[in-house]
Structure 1
């Protein structure tokens, strides 16, 4: 027969396991990853159209010049208001959604998890490095809020994508057990 102390410990342990399982199986990470790069995509689209929100006229014109001298496909997209990194941000948002939507389970897990782990780790690094530039006030012609939005978004996307990958693996593992 179980004594009162053992029953209390088992009850607390069970409560902790439920909290951990709820955290591990949460889909909030993937939805956050899907949304967090959208402000970046909007800014880059505005800049492609020549709108200087959060950046100097000089900075946006230098961006336009760099796009003209690059790959012809990238230039064609850019002159029509589509920055290549905006497309990549949209693909990253779809990756976040694939980690939480039912259609994501129909795709080979490796095709979702490999970019999630690699992209999450890389963006965590790049976001941290970018925010470190703020510490040294090396932001150039951009407004401070833009740097915080962009690099903070990169960092947040990286972390939430990593957490979404852990959650995806946990949820998929439960379906195969």
Structure 2
């Protein structure tokens, strides 16, 4: 193939990026209106003008701006020049926030159709628009990231993590993840809305997926499965519990509710520990693969004179 002939998927990636941004705009525009004091979609005047809500809306609007930059970087050639961490960390957090919503979308839609929005401060159309935007950007970001990663980090997908066990850090993360999974599942019994029940179950399963991924790190199993389980599981553990802690702090949750605070802290820590374990094993596996190639090259070079 000539240098000037690019594959069809590569030519379509920028278009896909712009389509993804279009799906993110409704949520971002809504946030910008609220920050500016224009209470569109708000049924209780003054709700969005408090310092707390302005701060919360500014934070989430910033996150949306980051998501737009990331999806454009993932779908354009200039994104290949971004430092890896500027892509990987936002995508890891974004996966944890959006993947449960994408998976739970049927239940969320059913819940809205049956009961409507339970938030009396917002017009009935606001919550469906927000979650539709979340679903759109979740699918778009995850798809764009996979396509980008397959091109940029092919060696990571082709390299099996080092099968040397997960070590004390990984074991600690897996134990905490299991405890959080049990807690998430237990909490679903106190929810009345279908969407919250399903999201809770999905988050519980994600924590168990992270535990399973940690187990697979110790064996020479399928690398792609280990990657999916640990990436999705660890990101969901961290992001969902970080967001829960942010919400608890913003809403002035009872500081004496020690168990709830311990659970969200355990979830955040478990996600970080398991992500670190996975990345360190992938790095070790890459070094082992390179060393094996170097040894093979050296052996071939030594045997060449005899062959001649």
Change (3 A) 1:33 1:120: farther
- Post-superposition offset of 1:166: 1.1
Structure showing greater relative contact order (alpha-carbon pairs closer than 8 Å, 6 or more residues apart): 1
Equivalent position to 1:89, from 25, 39, 64: 64
Structure 2 CA distance for aligned equivalents of residues 141 and 131 of structure 1: 19
Residue 49 of structure 2 corresponds to residue 64 of structure 1: yes
Contact 2:28 2:61 in 1 (8 A): yes
Residue 125 of structure 2 corresponds to residue 125 of structure 1: no
Contact 1:124 1:154 in 2 (8 A): no
- Post-superposition offset of 1:131: 3.3
User: Which structure 2 residue ranges, 5 or more long, are not aligned?
Assistant: 1-6, 155-308
TM-score (norm 1): 0.64
User: Which structure would you say has the larger Rg?
Assistant: 2
- Post-superposition offset of 1:173: 5.4
Structure 1 CA distance for aligned equivalents of residues 52 and 75 of structure 2: 39
TM-score (norm 2): 0.39
Contact 2:30 2:40 in 1 (8 A): yes
Please tell me the root mean square deviation across aligned C-alpha atoms, in Å: 3.4
Corresponding position of 1:18 = none
Change (3 A) 1:29 1:144: farther
Equivalent position to 2:86, from 92, 111, 120: 111
User: Which structure 1 residue ranges, 5 or more long, are not aligned?
Assistant: 1-20
| Residues matched between the structures, number | 144
- Post-superposition offset of 1:119: 0.6
Contact 2:75 2:148 in 1 (8 A): yes
